[in-house]
Structure 1
Amino acid sequence: MKVTFAKPAIPDKGALVIGVREDNTLGSTGTELDELTGGQLGRALKAERFKGEAGKSLVVNAPHGVTLDRVILIGLGKLDAITAGTLESFGGTAVGRLGALGDETAALDPDLPEDAPVSAVEAAARVAMGATLGGFRFDRYRTREKPEEKPALRKVTILTDDQAEAKKAFAPMQAVAEGVDLTRSLVSEPANVIYPESFCERVKDLADLGVTVEVLDEAKMRKLGMGALLGVAQGSARPPRLLVMEYKGAKDKDAAPIAFIGKGVTFDSGGISIKPSAGMEDMKWDMGGAGVVAGLMKALAGRKADANVVGLCGLVENMPSGTAQRPGDVVTTMSGQTVEVINTDAEGRLVLADVLWYAQDRFKPSRIIDLATLTGAIIISLGGEHAGLFSNADDLAEAITEAGTQMDEKVWRLPLGEAYDKMIRSDIADMKNAGNREAGSITAAQFLQRFLKSKDTPWAHLDIAGVTWSKKDKATVPKGATGFGVRLLDRVVADLIEGDGGKAGKGKTAKDKGGKSGKTKKK
């Protein structure tokens, strides 16, 4: 779907989507159209239970007095409550409605007054962003879909007085949207298509954006001593891979990078501790963390972020076989620490343990953020509304929380502490990979924290098990793979790294912090 910008005007054909404020207040475009149609819009608004509430919509087909196929009215709510998010939802809702109606072209106009809380240029860019995100569709395996069942929309034009500035404002947003698109596509693919080797192939073209892509095979990882990651992979016919993506966009190319680490279990059967069969097909997206890291690297490089960033993905398949890891096995991690494998279905933390250590050993990052569809416990705790956040650094946790609020990718901070750490003590090794049923998400985070080389390194862990896949449509997030985390972490880089001139300083560290939503108070 192509997105363009043009001056406000009533188009001759296709559909026109305009914003309506609370109490059915029309803007200049809506008022002009109402006059051209002999008051048809006003009559339609009065006849329907539509009050301009945010997100609500009303379709007027073949309006009299114009040659348009239809007009779609979308509520924006109160004028003083309109935000960038409101306008993105407007764009996404518009594309969703248009996709169901069969229009090939459409013009979108939020139709805001000059005193709106969002500038006209940003409003146009945000509408374009929402339309782009809402227009994602993963349909490459649908071979018998009838033409009338497919969205026909090919071109969306955002109406604005300053097309050049709007296009300029949209450019970095579009790069981020392309990153989200990559993540959604990777996570949507079935496990017979995306596995460790093919995942790496899919991201090789990031080199065109200035990202250095390197792939470590099994032999190299064995030489490095990555016994935990390799232990997970040993039951599969698919060989593991460690994907390393490096982007140096800061003025100081030698400045320590921020590191993003993603769990990439391309299919998780649970191994010998096999999962129940019901719903196991969902485990194709257990590589969601790796998918986010790949999409984030595309977003940052695409918008030419002023930051040094490294993205690492531990890619394995967790399968039961005669060579599979057994409960009770002991593995030695790259750090030298040993782990008793209590449950082979607690495999993601084993993968991340070695990748975390490797990232610190090689890149000496200023900050580390890992993402993983790590525990079912986080879904029980937070559902699909928030990702779980764990961190040893208040400043970093605060930045992630604030970015999540801005991007509508919300996180909730949970605690860490010695009492939880005791739950993963092993009788025969340095630790075990799973505690009991209590505090499952927290003990997983405690496990990962043991693989920080220095307690002074700001680190955050995002458990995205509940937010990686959606079973219902939202305005800018169609049903399926959400891409949650790309926009959130792009914002974190903008605020923490680019916001301070690309100098990634140390964050304040703290013990036993958590249980707070919103900003964390600094000590």
Structure 2
Amino acid sequence: MFQRLDQDTGGALSRAVRVRDFQGKEGQTLCLGAPSDSLAQVQIIGCAPEDGADSKSEALVMEEAGGRAFRALEKSGYASEQGIIVVPDCLASYAAEVALGARLTSYRFTKYQSEPSKPVKTQRLSLVLSTEEAAEAALSRWTALQAVADGVFLTRDLVTEPSNVLYPESFKNRIEALKELGLDVEVLDRAQMEKLGFGALLGVAQGSEFAPYTVILRHNGAPSAEDAPLAFIGKGVTFDSGGISIKPAAGMDEMKGDMGGAATVVGLLSALARRKAEVNAIGVVGLVENMPSGTAQRPGDIVKSHSGQTIEVLNTDAEGRLVLADLLSYTAQTYKPALMVNLATLTGAIVVALGAEHAGLFSNDDSLAVALVQAGSETGEKLWRMPMGEAYNRAIDSDVADMKNIGGRPGSSILAAEFLKRFVGKTRWAHLDIAGTAWLDKESALAGKGATGFGVQLLDRFVQDHEAQN
């Protein structure tokens, strides 16, 4: 394909490659403006990994190449409504990944802008391959990848919405709309949660005028309905003021995204339904708002969780773990899942430890942790396993209750994980602290500034690997 384009441009491509010392390395781009009468521009995108760079799967390299191609096109000044990506024969098996990368990079949230500051200029993007067989194979794979992209976009939309638009009830309504994908959706209201003993979750919600909800999504795709489901649990605090332990004003606007874990779970379940994944999966999200008021939970309060364990609430800003505590024990006891993975923008400490490059992984099962790390490596949504242990666990023992919800600043992201572990029983479990990865202050390879949709691709790959093994 390169040779044909080079011939059509009178050798302009090969001359540019030679003169500009373009070596085709990952991250390199080369733009030629109007190389022929029929071409407004040609972008050449490098795909060969740099020596010594972090190893990436070939699929991820090509996905990011698709994202760079789209971004280069948009920023070049030549962008038109119609764009074309030519995939060479040697990379044709990854054409669908190229398309996925381009689509993920095209995301914009312009819902509230009268005139979008950065509208998508390229409305249609076509991929060109040299054979009909290669094109048919790419189209076949694209169906599943498009489902994942739709899930990522749903998650990004949810995280980006302001809290006056996305609050527990409206979030619940958006989830219920996913029934059209074939998902079963069950809603637990305040009265039902009180009856079930969700004292930890309801304590968080009691200061807000918005009613809390727990929403359960079910995808039944396994050959046998009796197969134990994979369970994904998400923290859905639609706004976190910190409650009585109120946060500083600076940066509090970012707390509209404290429901990022729940958003990822919803995006994942929608992706599984769209691609008709052959697995039974459930998503459980707790939707609350954490606000200070005359009815708000106070530091020093003691609440009784669904598991029967009591919690001394020393800091009302450590609320996400209270929400997850009830969800974890309820999910483990009610659905008896094969495993549970919970996601939450849980601690600032994980951001200090890992920045935005990795999410924190905590687990009571080595094989589950290895599988999640592998899926993260393959998709570029990287995880770093953090330690756990009895010494950390003892730090959250309370003098007046079974446990307290904080245990001091040192190792505080680990203490939060130890808190959660007390509610999973013997179920295989992993906790992903995505506080540093759910929202970025600068663009990444496949996302612009803002909500990333972190976790949807990672967990979809994890589910695919599970499908392949069963």
Deviation at 1:385, TM superposition (A): 0.8
Distance in 2 (CA, whole Å) between partners of 1:47 and 1:281 is 49
Deviation at 1:47, TM superposition (A): 4.1
Q: Which of residues 106, 116, 126 is equivalent to 1:135?
A: 106
Q: How does 1:10-409 map to 2 (within 5 A)?
A: 29-48=1-20, 50-64=22-36, 66-77=37-48, 83-100=58-75, 101=77, 102-113=79-90, 120=92, 122-145=93-116, 149-160=118-129, 161=131, 162-409=134-381
Distance in 2 (CA, whole Å) between partners of 1:82 and 1:491 is 13
**Match in the other structure for 1:491:** 461
Distance in 2 (CA, whole Å) between partners of 1:355 and 1:126 is 35
Distance in 1 (CA, whole Å) between partners of 2:247 and 2:50 is 50
Deviations 1:475-517 (A, max 9, x none): 3122211111111111111212x1232xxxxxxxxxxxxxxxx
- Work out whether residues 389 and 411 of structure 1, in 8 Å CA contact, stay in contact via their aligned partners in 2: yes
Deviations 1:402-457 (A, max 9, x none): 111111111111111110011101111110000011110110001001112x32x2
SS in structure 2 at match of 1:203? helix
Deviation at 1:49, TM superposition (A): 5.7
- Read off the aligned partner of 1:472 and give its amino acid letter: K
SS in structure 1 at match of 2:80? coil
- Read off the aligned partner of 1:110 and give its amino acid letter: V
Distance in 2 (CA, whole Å) between partners of 1:364 and 1:37 is 63
Deviation at 1:112, TM superposition (A): 4.1
- Work out whether residues 159 and 257 of structure 2, in 8 Å CA contact, stay in contact via their aligned partners in 1: yes
Distance in 1 (CA, whole Å) between partners of 2:303 and 2:101 is 46
- Read off the aligned partner of 2:80 and give its amino acid letter: D
Deviation at 1:133, TM superposition (A): 1.1
**RMSD over equivalenced CA pairs, Å:** 1.6
**Match in the other structure for 1:4:** none
- Work out whether residues 96 and 475 of structure 1, in 8 Å CA contact, stay in contact via their aligned partners in 2: no
Distance in 1 (CA, whole Å) between partners of 2:414 and 2:368 is 18
Deviations 1:268-320 (A, max 9, x none): 11111111111111111110000000000011111111111010001100111
**Match in the other structure for 1:458:** 428
Q: Which of residues 480, 495, 498 is equivalent to 2:450?
A: 480
Deviation at 1:89, TM superposition (A): 1.0
The count of corresponding residues between Structure 1 and Structure 2 is 461
- Work out whether residues 108 and 119 of structure 2, in 8 Å CA contact, stay in contact via their aligned partners in 1: no
Distance in 2 (CA, whole Å) between partners of 1:127 and 1:442 is 38
Distance in 2 (CA, whole Å) between partners of 1:38 and 1:400 is 49
Distance in 1 (CA, whole Å) between partners of 2:101 and 2:376 is 17
- Work out whether residues 134 and 478 of structure 1, in 8 Å CA contact, stay in contact via their aligned partners in 2: yes
Deviation at 1:35, TM superposition (A): 2.1
Deviation at 1:82, TM superposition (A): 7.9
Distance in 2 (CA, whole Å) between partners of 1:264 and 1:50 is 47
SS in structure 1 at match of 2:261? helix
Identity among equivalent positions (%) equals 53
Q: Does 415-424 or 96-105 show the bigger shift?
A: 96-105
SS in structure 1 at match of 2:237? strand
**Match in the other structure for 1:505:** none
SS in structure 2 at match of 1:125? helix
Distance in 2 (CA, whole Å) between partners of 1:467 and 1:312 is 21
Deviations 1:149-168 (A, max 9, x none): 52221111111223222100
Deviation at 1:203, TM superposition (A): 2.0
SS in structure 1 at match of 2:214? strand
Distance in 1 (CA, whole Å) between partners of 2:57 and 2:429 is 34
Distance in 2 (CA, whole Å) between partners of 1:107 and 1:42 is 19
SS in structure 1 at match of 2:108? coil
Distance in 2 (CA, whole Å) between partners of 1:365 and 1:165 is 35
- Work out whether residues 90 and 110 of structure 1, in 8 Å CA contact, stay in contact via their aligned partners in 2: no
Distance in 2 (CA, whole Å) between partners of 1:54 and 1:500 is 32
- Read off the aligned partner of 2:69 and give its amino acid letter: A
Q: Which of residues 430, 438, 460 is equivalent to 1:468?
A: 438
Structure 2 residue runs without a partner (length 5+): none
Deviation at 1:46, TM superposition (A): 3.8
Deviation at 1:37, TM superposition (A): 1.9
